[in-house]
A and B are shown apart, each in its own frame.
Chain A
Amino acid sequence: EVQLLESGGDLVQPGGSLRLSCAASGFTFSNYAMTWVRQAPGKGLEWVSVISYSGSRTYYADSVKGRFTISRDNSKNTLYLQMNSLRAEDTALYYCAKDKIEYRDSHNWFDPWGQGTLVTVSS
């Protein structure tokens, strides 16, 4: 069974940093692109970033470009999101999700998703 377990969410002050992790199991992690999607309280889904299965390609939403960095450690079956210069508007539940198709660099759709980790940016 595919499992995705996010961690690292916390209360952080504006301007601070946080690193989220997503531990994957139940599939060959290195064969699949992975993504981060966030959901502000009571709001819709906002795509944040995606990384190709090899890690060679990364893409970001304009709202986080230059502040967030997605990465993966295929030896540890773990996806990361380094979040710097955090703002109040980054407050959200952050989900990681797995690409449905192996060996894709782009044009991805995702399933399953983890349960999410909550990031709160506030002074």
Chain B
Amino acid sequence: EDQVTQSPEALRLQEGESSSLNCSYTVSGLRGLFWYRQDPGKGPEFLFTLYSAGEEKEKERLKATLTKKESFLHITAPKPEDSATYLCAVQGFSGGYNKLIFGAGTRLAVHP
């Protein structure tokens, strides 16, 4: 069964303090790994898709990386507006095309 575990559950940073969020996954053949951002009272917002180990993608202060067992979301010099819950999801070959399994998320709070 496909599984996604995210750590830490919650993270508090000072503005400008860089850090990383972890997403460990178990999947029978990885089609893709997805990162989303979710603000309170809103639906998840798509950030990145990664397909193979060694792949990296960047967007502003965020960079996502992928290995065969985990993915990291690196946040460089975060700002208060980066505060949100970050969700990781995997799409495997066994789950049916285009079906995403989500982790529980990491709640990030960035304080000025």
Q: Is this pair of chains taken from one and the same complex?
A: no
Name B's A-contacting residues (CB within 8 A): none
